[in-house]
Amino acid sequence: MDKELLYNGSGVKDITAYKAILQSGGTGNMNNYEINKGEIWEVDNNGSSRLVVVLACFERYAATVMLQDQLPGSSAVEVRARDIMYADAGRLGYVFYDKMVDFVRTLSDTEYQALRQGIANALNIDTSDGGDAYSAALEAAHQEAVILREDLAKAQEEIDNQAEELEAAANRVAALEEEKKKKNGSNYIAAVEESELRKCLAMAEREAEIYKRLYEDLLARALG
């Protein structure tokens, strides 16, 4: 699901980050194509696709709101994409630029303002302030994505380390079995040593699966 910007990394509601989304603009770039706020893009979501509206552009990702065919249970805003769709104005997310695969259309100024107002209404946010408050809020939203990217990198590193340990353990077990064959069943290799190695292999496999699920969860959060 989308990474919800209303809450920071500690799970605390962060209105300032939402204000940054509502007030910011700028552009991003993907494969030499300039991405702008107010555009609707089709994005890749782990093999499936969905449509999002770009609300603000940062260095490597855009703040977005996802579109859906069905009317959401609350804070619905009608948006015309290829067909009429709906946004849940109270739920925003991030999309990395390399996940944007197809441009759909650009909202008119009237359409985009209606969406912005819907988001402000859904979250009871006053969008009239600016200056220092705006800058601080924009930085808060940016740092949220930076932390998420760091978590993804750490999870991938753990998976790589576990893969190396798995390979080493498997090689040790294979070497033991080969040595036993050469010795024609002699007691050169103690059974207890082989048992311990198999336990280490099983433990490494379990840890690798845990880190794999952690990485997949973090990746799903990053992709929204």
Please name which of 145, 34, 135, 48 lies closest in space to residue 94, comparing C-alpha atoms.
Answer: 145
Q: Where are the domains of the chain?
A: 15-147, 148-223
Return the number of other C-beta atoms located less than 10 Å from residue 80's C-beta. Answer: 14
16: Cβ contacts below 8 Å, ≥ 6 apart: 133, 136, 137, 140
pLDDT at position 191? 60
pLDDT at position 29? 55
pLDDT at position 73? 85
pLDDT at position 80? 96
Phi–psi pair at 129, nearest 5 degrees = -80, 165
| Residue 220 three-state SS | helix
User: Candidates 2.30.30.110, 3.40.630.30, 3.30.9.10, 3.50.50.60; correct CATH number of 15-147?
Assistant: 2.30.30.110
99, 222 contact by CB (below 8 A) = no
144: Cβ contacts below 8 Å, ≥ 6 apart: 3, 5, 8, 9, 14, 17
> Average pLDDT by consecutive 10-residue portion of the chain (224 residues)?
41 48 51 81 90 90 92 92 92 88 93 88 69 49 71 78 77 75 57 67 75 68 58
pLDDT at position 90? 85
The C-alpha angle with vertex 115 and arms to 113 and 119, in degrees rounded to 5, equals: 115
